[in-house]
Amino acid sequence: MGIFDKIKGAIFGTHAEAAPVPKPAAPAPTGTTPTPAAPTPAAPVPTASTPAAPQPGAPTSAPTAAPTSAQAVDVAAMLDGAVKAKGQPLDWRKSIVDLMKALDLDSSIGARKELAAELHYTGDTSDSATMNVWLHKALMKKLAENGGKVPADLTD
């Protein structure tokens, strides 16, 4: 498990449910298409029963919409809560080190260099100040790409 996966797991939950949700959403419409096709041949015979057959197909579409709304995890709220639980003045909005500390993760230079490699940092890892600023921005963008609701000012 990489550093990003640990951060994502700490924010989204250990199962990181935000990632698997889109995959079932795609097969659900595919499964819905064959279901109406099968009842259609039987539908012309009992005309009164025809409305009853599409009703079971309709609830299948409703759960597809529900996971989509549950997908977005409020990253700011999660991190604000983690900071509050720590009882320390951690500025996760500006500091990758403070963000990692708030999540009880290793914030050492080695861990940050590992995260930089995972996120494809091309700069000089010896310049930790520049790397840290880049890491924070890249991490916020990556969390947003993975279903996190990140404040707009942190994804610039």
Would you give the DSSP letter of residue 44? T
pTM of the model: 0.64
The encoded tokens of residue 57 equal 């197909």
- Total domains, the chain: 2
Q: Identify the pLDDT of residue 72.
A: 83
Q: Identify the pLDDT of residue 14.
A: 63
Q: Identify the pLDDT of residue 101.
A: 96
Same domain, 29 and 96: no
Same domain, 11 and 84: yes
The encoded tokens of residue 18 equal 């935000």
Same domain, 52 and 125: no
Q: Identify the pLDDT of residue 13.
A: 86
Q: What averages of pLDDT result for each successive group of 10 residues across the chain (156 residues)?
A: 93 58 42 47 46 45 36 90 93 97 96 97 97 97 93 86
Neighbours of 107 (CB within 10 A): 19
Same domain, 63 and 107: no
Write out the residue range of the structural domain in which residue 129 sits.
Answer: 3-15+72-154
Q: Identify the pLDDT of residue 116.
A: 97
Same domain, 83 and 130: yes
Same domain, 62 and 89: no
Same domain, 85 and 28: no
